[in-house]
C-alpha cells in the first residue's frame, strides 16, 4: 500500500514546539509520511516552495531555520493560501499561546485544514468559537486538542470517546496545573522561597510564557472551561465563574512577565504566611478545579488538604484528574506529569497521528 502523505505546518518553536519538531522528524511510520512544509516563528518563517518536506532533521532543524528562514512571519490567511495550493491534506500544528492564531482556526477548518494544538485559547474563550470548531461539518478539517488539558495525559480524547459511546459525566475534579503542582509540592516540602520555585518552574518549561497566567488561576480556568464544555455545560467563557488568583494584587498590572518575576521576591513573606497557617493545621495548599455537571457548577481556587489526602502526595509536575460518570461511579483517576516539553509535544503528536489516520 502506498504511504499516505500529509502536509504539516508548524507555528511556534518554543518549549513545546522544539520538542514537537524533534519528535515528528523522528517518526518512522509504515503508513504515513509527514511532510513538514512550513515552520513559523514570531518574526520569521520557512516554507517549502514545492511542498516536499523541508530539508531538516531532528538534530539540525534549529540551525537550519536560523540560517535559512525569511524575515517576518506569515499571517494565518497567508498560511491557509499556501496550504490550499497543494492537494495533499494538511494539518496546522499551533504550538503558540497566541490568540490571533486561535481565533483563525475556523478559517483553517472551513478550508479543509485540520488542527492539532496545545493552545487553550480557542477552546476556552467564546462559546461561539467552540461551536464553530465542533460543528461536525464533514467537509471541514478535524480539530484535536488533547494537550490543552493535562498535557500528554489522555484526558480530552478519553472524555470525548466515553461521551460518544453514551456515557454521561457527573463530576470532574483535580489538579490541572503542572506548574502550580510543582510549585506547591516543592513549596510544601522544601525550605525554599516562593519566588525561587516559580523561577525554577519557568526554567523547567512548566509555566505559561507569562507565569502570571498560571499563578492567577487563568490557565486552570481555561482547562476547566474546556472540560466543562466537553461534559456538556454551556460555559460562555472563563469569566462565567470566580477564579481565586495567587498573583499578589499590585503585580497583576505590571506590563511584562520579566518585570513581574523581578518583583515577585517582595511578596515571598506574605505567601509564606499562608503556607505556615496551613502547616499548623497539618494541611498543605493545593490549587484545584472542579466541575459538577448535575449542579451546573464550576470552581477554581486554592484549597487546603490534610497531609493524608491523595492530592497532598503528588510529585513533581503531576496532575491528577478524577472523572465520575454514569458508568464509572467509582471515578476514573488519571495521574502523571501535567506539564513539560516532551510530554506535551507527545500529546500533540498523538493527535497529529489520529488526524492522519482519519484523513
Ligand atoms: N509548556 C507546557 O508544559 C505546556 C504548554 N502548553 C501550551 O503550549 C503552547 C506553547 O507553550 P510553550 O512552548 O511553553 O511557549 P513558548 O513561549 O516557549 O513558545 C511559543 C512559541 O510561539 C511562537 N509564537 C508566538 N506568537 C507567535 C505568532 N504570532 N506567530 C508565530 N509564532 C509565534 C514563539 O516564537 P519565537 O520563538 O519567535 O518567539 C515561540 O516559538 C501554549 O499555548 C501553552 O499553553 C500546553 C500544555 C503544557
Ligand atoms: N502552564 C501549564 C502548562 C500546561 O498546560 C501548566 O502549568 O499546567
Ligand atoms: Na491531555
| Contact residues for 250 (Cβ-Cβ < 8 A; gap 6+) | 263
Q: What is the pLDDT of residues 20-65, one digit of tens each?
A: 999 999 998 888 999 999 999 999 999 999 999 999 999 999 999 9
Q: What is the pLDDT of residues 206-245, one digit of tens each?
A: 999 889 999 989 999 999 999 999 999 999 999 888 888 8
Pocket test for ligand 2, best of 179, 215, 342, 345 (most atoms within 8 A of CB): 179
Nearest-CA residue for atom 3 of ligand 2? 339
What is the ipTM for the molecules in this complex?
0.98
Q: Phi/psi at 241 (nearest 5 deg)?
A: -145, 155
CB-based burial, 169-198: b 16+ in 10 Å, e otherwise: bbbbbbbbbbbbbbbbbbbbeeeebbbebb
Q: Are 98 and 41 in contact (CB under 8 A)?
A: no
DSSP state of 148: G
Mean pLDDT computed over 104-114: 97
Mean pLDDT, rounded, of the chain: 93
Per-residue model confidence (pLDDT) at position 122: 96
Dist. CA 274 → ligand 3 center (Å): 31
Per-residue model confidence (pLDDT) at position 330: 95
Residue 141 pLDDT > 80? yes
The secondary element (H helix, E strand) that includes residue 33 is: strand 32-40
DSSP state of 209: S
Helices 178-189 and 268-280 pack at an angle, to 10 degrees, of 70
Q: Are 146 and 347 in contact (CB under 8 A)?
A: yes
Say how far apart CA 326 and CA 10 lie, in whole Å.
Answer: 39
The ligand 2 atom nearest the CA atom of 208: 1
Dist. CA 151 → ligand 3 center (Å): 4
Say how far apart CA 151 and CA 159 lie, in whole Å.
Answer: 14
Find out whether the beta carbon of 151 lies less than 6 Å from any atom of ligand 2. Answer: yes
Mean pLDDT computed over 130-134: 94
Say how far apart CA 225 and CA 207 lie, in whole Å.
Answer: 19
Residue 272 pLDDT > 70? yes
Give the model's confidence band at 2: pLDDT under 50 very low, under 70 low, under 90 confident, else very high: low
CB-based burial, 326-337: b 16+ in 10 Å, e otherwise: eeeeebbebbbb
Q: Phi/psi at 192 (nearest 5 deg)?
A: -140, 150
* 161, three cell numbers: 470517546
**Given the DSSP bridges, would you call strands 143-144 and 114-116 parallel, antiparallel or unpaired?**
parallel
Dist. CA 315 → ligand 1 center (Å): 25
Say how far apart CA 224 and CA 318 lie, in whole Å.
Answer: 17
Say how far apart CA 311 and CA 176 lie, in whole Å.
Answer: 11
Q: Are 320 and 335 in contact (CB under 8 A)?
A: yes
Total-model pTM = 0.94
Find out whether the beta carbon of 203 lies less than 6 Å from any atom of ligand 1. Answer: no
* 262, three cell numbers: 523581578
* 89, three cell numbers: 491534506
Find out whether the beta carbon of 339 lies less than 6 Å from any atom of ligand 2. Answer: yes
Amino acid at each position: 500500500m502506498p504511504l499516505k502523505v500529509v502536509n504539516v505546518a508548524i507555528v511556534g518553536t518554543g518549549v513545546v514546539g522544539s520538542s514537537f519538531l524533534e519528535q515528528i522528524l523522528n517518526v518512522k511510520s509504515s503508513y504515513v509520511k509527514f511532510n513538514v512544509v512550513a515552520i513559523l516563528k514570531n518574526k520569521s518563517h520557512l516554507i517549502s516552495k514545492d511542498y516536499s518536506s523541508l530539508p531538516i532533521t531532528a538534530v539540525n532543524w534549529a540551525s537550519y531555520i536560523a540560517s535559512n528562514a525569511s524575515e517576518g512571519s506569515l499571517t494565518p490567511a497567508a498560511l491557509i493560501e499556501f496550504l490550499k495550493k497543494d492537494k495533499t491534506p494538511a494539518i496546522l500544528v499551533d504550538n503558540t499561546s497566541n490568540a490571533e492564531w486561535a481565533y483563525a482556526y475556523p478559517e483553517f477548518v472551513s478550508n479543509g485544514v485540520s488542527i492539532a494544538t496545545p493552545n487553550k485559547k480557542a477552546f476556552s474563550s467564546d462559546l461561539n468559537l467552540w461551536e464553530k470548531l465542533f460543528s461536525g461539518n464533514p467537509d471541514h478539517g478535524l480539530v484535536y486538542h488533547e494537550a490543552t488539558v493535562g498535557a500528554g495525559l489522555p484526558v480530552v480524547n478519553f472524555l470525548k470517546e466515553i461521551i460518544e459511546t453514551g456515557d454521561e459525566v457527573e463530576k470532574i475534579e483535580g489538579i490541572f496545573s503542572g506548574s502550580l503542582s510543582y510549585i506547591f509540592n516543592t513549596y510544601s516540602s522544601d525550605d525554599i522561597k516562593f519566588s525561587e520555585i516559580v523561577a525554577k518552574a519557568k526554567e523547567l518549561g512548566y509555566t505559561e510564557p507569562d507565569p502570571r497566567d498560571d499563578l492567577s488561576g487563568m490557565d486552570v480556568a481555561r482547562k476547566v472551561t474546556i472540560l466543562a464544555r466537553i461534559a456538556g455545560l454551556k460555559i460562555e467563557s472563563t469569566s462565567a465563574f470566580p477564579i481565586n488568583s495567587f498573583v499578589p494584587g499590585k503585580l497583576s498590572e505590571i506590563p511584562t512577565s520579566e518585570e513581574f518575576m523581578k518583583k515577585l521576591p517582595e511578596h515571598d513573606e506574605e505567601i509564606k504566611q499562608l503556607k505556615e497557617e496551613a502547616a499548623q493545621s497539618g494541611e498543605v495548599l493545593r490549587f484545584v478545579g472542579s466541575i459538577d455537571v448535575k449542579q451546573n457548577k464550576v470552581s477554581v481556587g486554592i484549597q487546603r488538604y490534610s497531609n493524608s489526602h491523595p492530592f497532598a502526595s503528588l510529585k513533581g509536575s503531576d496532575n491528577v484528574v478524577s472523572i465520575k460518570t454514569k458508568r464509572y461511579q467509582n471515578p476514573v483517576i488519571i495521574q502523571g506529569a501535567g506539564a513539560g516539553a516532551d510530554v506535551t509535544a507527545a500529546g500533540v503528536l498523538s493527535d497529529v497521528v489520529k488526524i492522519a489516520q482519519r484523513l
